[in-house]
Structure 1
Amino acid sequence: MPKVAFECAQKSPRGLPSKYRLILCRAVGSPLLMDPNSICRKAKRLVGKQAELCQTQPEIVSEVAKGARLGIRECQYQFKYRRWNCTSHNKYFGKILQQDIRETAFVYAITAAGVSHAVTQACSMGDLLQCGCEATRNRAPPKPLSSSSVDGAKWEWGGCGDDVEFGYEKSKQFMDAKRRRGKSDIRTLVDLHNNEAGRLLYMRTECKCHGLSSSCTLRTCWKKMPHFREVGDRLLERFNGASKVMGGNDGKTLIPVGQNIKPPDRQDLIYSDESPDFCLANRKTGSLGTRGRMCNSTAMDISGCDLLCCQRGYRQETVVFEENCLCRFHWCCVVQCKKCSIQKTLSLCH
């Protein structure tokens, strides 16, 4: 891990929750902090378009920070029932990111996707002066949705399509910061590949028909980003099917490990080292262990007590807490609720 990354973890930028300080810094492999002001104060260490953006377009850097936070929140949602639950505890999270394991691949991909998503969304919302709706002048017309469509119908781009290309480019500038060559060549290739996999947002086309009696003589279409939860779901599928790779003799290529394994495509996640089991706490590997984690005693999946507790068993505790109940709306315009005591039995890993 570069020395500057440790510096990022130790700094305390104002207005930034401590659990996010290390994420963007380590994810881009350069001395960036999650706080946009701190990022640009480090501009002397940045080069090329990164430094230019800090000097001329700090509002884009702010969206980069929002996107990184979005990615980590989605990581925590997708991994909430797994032995490693994407904890953002600095001492442990940094250790995870020093390894080339599947979990690291997902963090890099979802963070790069979050940055691309946040910048693109800011464009569509009119929050950035540098971008807006997607330019459609030179784009080929969309194809009919089915063979049953009316022959001779006209198709054209319109509406306010999301400018995903702008978000893609800004994510690439910040997340693909140059890394040191030499011994880290393979590590660099792995990280850059996973960044790219995350940026390949699953765009969809939405259309609206025009014509008498819904004849659809003209269809106006535009590009739209999916909800970020959909991006997280797709990347989790890629995580489950991630490919193990090794470096080629030329130091510039990655080769899949094992026989009869197809080379990973651009959207596949890749890794080079096996993950620890994350059953017990281990600072060297970044594992917090699963002792005390809540599990589902009746589930047979990854949230079940057998798997989550690593077959150590579990205990049950009864807790009582209060929540709002019997809420009523009173004209006008107040909602009044009572407090009810709820008793719940929790299963906790030994």
Structure 2
Amino acid sequence: MHTVVFVPVYLLLVTPITTSWWAAGSNVVLDPKQICKKSRKFNDKMDKICNGKTKLLEFISHGVALGESECQYQFRFRKWNCTSARRSMRKVLLRDTRETGFVNAITAAAVTYEITKACTKGDLKNCFCDRKYNKNSKKNKMKGVKLPDGEWKWGGCGDNINYGFRKSKDFMDTRYKKKSDMKTLLKLHNYKAGRLAIKNHMTTECKCHGLSGSCNVKTCWRKMPLFREVGNRLKEHFDGAAKVIAGNDGHSFIPEGETIKSPGEEDLVYSEDTPNYCKLNRTIGSFGTGGRECNPTSQGEEGCDILCCNRGHTTRKETEERSCNCEFVYCCEVQCQTCRSDKNVSTCV
């Protein structure tokens, strides 16, 4: 059975904006406005961000929301799925587990990303495109940068990643005056790892110049990777995160085991094992996995055996509706049909 639905064209061009509790309403560590409000004595760096004159706080909030969205995508199949429910997130962030490390890293990365993007677009005062490579390209032997072949020069509007990195650090790191306790050391390390997941993986893009598109000369600039790539990279570091203990000097950490390699700057670190998120446990912020949708044919994280913690699952048939066979109708409407199909849905018991 098909149902005809008329959709105004302008509605197809509008994406609704939802407010995340990470960016508005949390009093843990991730609410930029609360951080400004609760900081009684600003240093100069925080004052410039929190006074609102630079619009930085707006894009920091965008970054926090982006970090939440990416965290939920990366953890969509895990037992703890990065839920935005504050009674879960608050408990999780009180510990120094791998999950906490990832949340801190993806948030720092997202804040860096949004500030850098806003700078490049010209939405921030006193911040401009990155043109530092224009003058002498031969001396720019940057680590990990693959330079283009043939005749080329630096130009265009490169992403000013150094500005985004610095402002993210100013806002997220400078609040921690005591930097020798273990919890702060891990937090600051994972913040930096998140930022480096962007800075150390910038790409070079070029535009050709010449008659008839001959590309005799190219103008090149530096661009950030897609944020999904950043999320994927940090998820890989999460899977290989290093467990550490406090160092003897009281100002550092070392691997828990003597045979474990010391973590690098881009590696994620943690000091507490992940608790059991299989069952409801409000003490650790776990809602359990009961009722979660799973894939009975998969052997991965989304598989019913793993996600349901071997408790079993049930399967039911659902009718799915979707818009289909859409056609533009002059003037200003899109005519669609509603198509229905049945599918099996498995959920954990």
State whether TM-score is above 0.5.
Answer: yes
Alpha-carbon distance in 2 for matches of 1:206, 1:191: 33
Give the 5 Å matches for 1:123-162.
123-136=119-132, 140-141=137-138, 149-150=149-150, 153=151, 155-162=152-159
The one-letter code matched in structure 1 to 2:102 is F
The AA in structure 2 aligned to 1:255 is I
Residue 168 of structure 1: CA displacement?
0.6
- 1:158 and 1:62, CA in 2 relative to 1: closer, same or farther beyond 3 A? same
* 1:253 CA displacement: 1.5
CA drift of 1:327 comes to: 2.3
Name the residue aligned to 2:84. 88
Equivalent position of 1:3 in the other structure: none
Instruction: After TM superposition, give the deviation of residue 39 of structure 1 in Å.
Output: 5.1
Between Structure 1 and Structure 2, the one with more helix by share is: 1
Is this contact kept in 2: 1:40–1:58, CA < 8 A?
no
TM-score, structure 2 length as denominator? 0.84
Aligned residue pair count = 324
Please point out which of 175, 179, 184 is paired with 1:178: 175
What CA distance in whole angstroms lies between the structure 1 residues aligned with 2:216 and 2:336? 53
Q: Describe the shift of the 1:120–1:139 C-alpha distance in structure 2 as closer, same or farther (beyond 3 A).
A: farther
- 5+ long unaligned stretches in structure 2: 1-17
Q: Secondary structure at the residue paired with 1:114?
A: helix
**Change beyond 3 A, Cα 1:40–1:146:** closer
Unaligned 5+ segments in structure 1 are 1-14
- Report the counterpart of residue 329 of structure 1 in structure 2: 328
Would the aligned equivalents of 2:54 and 2:124 in 1 still touch at CA under 8 Å?
A: no
Deviation at 1:273, TM superposition (A): 0.8
- Structure 1 residue matching 2:55: 3-state secondary structure: helix
Cα drift, residue 281 of structure 1 = 1.1
User: SS at the partner of 2:225?
Assistant: coil
Offset at residue 82 of structure 1 (A): 0.7
How far 1:44 sits from its partner (Å)?
Answer: 2.8
Taking the aligned partners of 2:286 and 2:155, their CA distance within structure 1 comes to 50
Q: Which residue of 2 aligns with 1:191?
A: 187
Higher relative contact order (CA 8 A, sep 6+): 2
RMSD: 2.6
Q: Alignment partner of 2:70: what SS?
A: helix
2:117 alignment partner in structure 1: 121
TM-score by length of 1: 0.84
Amino acid at match of 2:42: L
5 Å matches for 1:167-246? 167-179=164-176, 181=178, 185-200=181-196, 201=198, 202-211=201-210, 218-246=217-245
Contact 2:22–2:64, Cα closer than 8 Å, also in 1 = no
Contact kept? 2:154, 2:221, Cα under 8 Å: yes
Identity of aligned residues (%): 45
1:111 matches 2:107: yes
Q: 1:290-329 residue pairs with structure 2 within 5 A? A: 290-329=289-328
8 A Cα contact 2:146 2:204, kept in partner: no
User: Secondary structure of the equivalent of 2:342?
Assistant: strand
Task: Answer yes or no: is the 8 Å Cα contact 2:246–2:254 preserved in 1.
Answer: yes
